[in-house]
Amino acid sequence: MNPEEDLKRSSAKAALRKMMALRRDELSEEERAKRSKQACAFAAEVMDRLHLQSMMIYVPFRSELDSRPLIEWAWKQGIQVIVPRSLPQDRSMELYKLQAWDELVSGAYGISEPDPLRSQKWNHPGPDIIWVPGLAFDRMGGRLGYGGGYYDRLSDRLNHGAQADARRIEKPLWVGIGYEVQVLEQVPMEEHDRVLDGLVTEQGHNVKTRPAAEG
């Protein structure tokens, strides 16, 4: 690897993150609420069409697409809701079942996360679908995250678990969810970046069927 090229790539991604965060922030609170509800309705369509019974999803922070309408819908449908808790010391995530809003506390980075004293840990290989936030997406599975690598590490962990467990025949679907203004023609990707199985915005969805585990 060329250190100079790495530095250029890193600087370009940092500039793109800043630009895309500003683009998202420019949406009014009213627009964000409206578009979030529309996107969550499309996400519910995906869940319903594929008969998915569990999902991992983030709790919204700052100007992220508001995932709470989808969480409320899942609770009403009896779908298991799993929410991550960030561990900054090794940039990993623990997964917890979320059954009520009062199980959330302010966690790492000020994000609302499950209280480990009140929420039950999710110890299964993986949920049926993982709804992934981000700063930018494209329609080929590209995603620009926040730079911490949390979701990439989770992907590696779940893939390893799927391969180690002979009974596990399917991996989770990884689907981006965001506003249409976050969609680019092409997001810069590196070898270690997780390619998504689809994308949902307020304008619709494009999601593959569930991928079979390798091996």
Q: What is the pLDDT of residue 207?
A: 93
Using pLDDT thresholds of 50, 70 and 90, give the confidence band for residue 192. Answer: confident
Quote the percentage of the chain above a pLDDT of 70.
Answer: 88
- In this structure, the number of other CB atoms found within 10 A of the CB of residue 58 comes to 20
Q: What is the pLDDT of residue 8?
A: 72
Whether pLDDT at 4 is above 90: no
Q: What is the pLDDT of residue 146?
A: 93
Q: Which two tokens stand for residue 8?
A: 């250029």
Q: What is the pLDDT of residue 215?
A: 35
Whether pLDDT at 182 is above 70: yes
| Residue stretches of the annotated binding site for ATP | 13-17, 143-151
Alpha-carbon gap, residue 31 to 81, rounded angstroms: 26
| Residue stretches of the annotated binding site | 13-17, 59, 64, 143-151
pLDDT digits (tens, 9 = 90+) for 125-168: 789 999 999 999 999 999 999 989 899 999 988 877 555 554 54
Q: What is the pLDDT of residue 161?
A: 59
Which range (13-17, 179-183, 192-196, 208-212) has the least confidence? Answer: 208-212
| Residue stretches of the annotated binding site for substrate | 59, 64
Whether pLDDT at 214 is above 70: no
Q: Top-level CATH class of 3-207?
A: alpha beta
User: Which is more confidently placed, 3 or 182?
Assistant: 182
CA-nearest of 95, 91, 134 to 114 is: 95
* 3-state secondary structure (DSSP) of residue 199: strand
| Cα first-last separation, the chain | 30
Average pLDDT over the chain, rounded to whole?
Answer: 90
Q: What is the DSSP string of 27-55?
A: S-HHHHHHHHHHHHHHHHHHHHHTT--EE
Which range (16-25, 127-136, 191-200) has the least confidence? Answer: 191-200
CA-nearest of 164, 80, 168, 165 to 127 is: 80
Alpha-carbon gap, residue 52 to 21, rounded angstroms: 31
Q: Once rounded to an integer, what is the mean pLDDT over residues 27-35?
A: 98
